[in-house]
Each structure stands twice: as C-alpha cells, then as structure tokens.
Amino acid sequence: MDTAKPLAGKVSMVTGASRGIGFAVAQALARLGSDVAICARDAERLAAAGRELERQGVRVFTARVDVRRAADVNSFVETAQKTLGEIDIAVNNAGVGVFVPGHQATEEQWNTVLDTNLKSVFLVCRAVAPSMIRRKTGHIINVASLAGKNAFAGGALYCASKWGLLGFTQSLAEDLRSYGIRVSAVCPGTVATEFSPHAGKDPSKMLQPEDVAHAVETIVTQAPQSFISEILLRPTQKP
C-alpha cells in the first residue's frame, strides 16, 4: 500500500458534498487516494465540486439526489457502485437546520429536519450495508453534532435529529461490528459554513470544514483491530 495514498483502490461516498463539510471530507478522501461518489441537491455546485475532485487524479461520480427519498438513495448507491466499484467508506453528511421553539414548529419543518438529518442516514446505511457485510469490511461515518448531546433554546428539531442520529449510530455499530464494519460518529461544534447564520461570532475562531475532514481522515486510517466510535470536536477558543 502506498503510504502517501492509503485509500488507493478504495471507493468512498459522501452525501451533501457540494460544499462545506461534505466537500472538505470528499477532498480529504480523494487526497488519500480514494475514488469518490458525491451527491447533493444543487446540480451546479455539485458539478463544480466534481471537477475540483477530479484534479486529485481519482475517479469521481456525481449525482443530484434527494437523500430523504429511498428511491433516490438506492439509485445513487447502485449506480455509484456500477461506476466506481463497491463502496468501502460511506460518509453521511447531508443535513439541514431549522431553529425555532419546539412548540412553534410546523409538521413540515419537523419532517424536513428529521428526514434529512436522520432518515437519510438510515436509507444510506441500508443501501451500503449488504455489500460491506458480504465483504466483511467497511466504514460508515455519520456527521452528527454536539447538539446531539447539548440542548439549547430553539434547537428542539435539530437536537432531536442529532440525538436520534447518535442513538442510531451506536446501535448500528453493534449490529455490524461482527462483520468487520466500523460505524462511527463525528460530533463537531459550530463550523464556519453557510449552514446557518452565526451572528456575533468570529468565524476565525470557529471550527473549519477541514477540521471535520481531518477527524474523518483519522477514523478511516486507523489500525484494523480497533475503531473510533465517536469524536467530539470543539474549537480551541469559543467564537
């Protein structure tokens, strides 16, 4: 194995990868030598992200996908595997935030947040697991949040989705570890992205997308006899 390209010959997929954390993660995986399948809903940004990743010298597959829909997810995974090969690393990054008092949220807002942040992870894991089980290898990494551990006013929907995601991740890890599949969560604090407004905060003191990508890189390059089940990621200074 080329130590400079430890993921050479591997295939990774990243959801919500046209910008921000997802794109940074996809770049890190490509830099390590992995071919990469990425999806997002913004076709123009997705195409630009794909072109940038190809400059790393790896094969890239892109698809416009609504990760809340089983048919979209299944088609994406199936086509990606036909194009690049069976998926070794799946990173569930797609997410949205709606920040309102829980008692004032609409059913539509609830469904949007929970379906994007939690249901989509279930759909992706269900789609990639059979191949990983058959080969007895694989990484599933779910980008959660410190909001999955700490409640805050206006965060009822978002916190519910991330607390649920951590519970799902931990249980799935137990379901799959006997097959050699490692399921992990990365829980960052506030990251300087377009995801949500950060009024009054200093972006230079926030976590950067590359910090989250580094955590993913750490997980996928660890020794085979163990796995990092969870990483909590905070900035050194409060923004």
Exposure of 160 by Cβ count < 10 A (0-12 exposed, 13-18 middle, 19+ buried)? buried
Phi, psi of 74 (to 5 degrees): -60, -40
Q: Which residues contact 145 (CB under 8 A, 6 or more apart)?
A: 158, 162, 187, 188, 189
Cα dihedral sign, 136-138-144-146: positive
Q: Which residues pair with 40 in a beta bridge?
A: 64
Q: 98: left (phi > 0), else alpha (psi -120 to 50), else beta?
A: beta
Of 23, 61, 76, 158, the catalytic one is 158
Distance, CA of 111 to CA of 132 (rounded, Å): 30
CA distances to 94, 143, 206, 238 from 234, rounded to whole Å, are 20, 14, 8, 9
Cα dihedral sign, 131-46-10-139: negative
Active site residue 179: no
DSSP line for 195-226? SS--TT--GGGSB-HHHHHHHHHHHHTS-TT-
Query: How many residues does the structure list for the chain?
Result: 239
Token pair belonging to 109: 């807002």
Kindly list the catalytic residues: 158
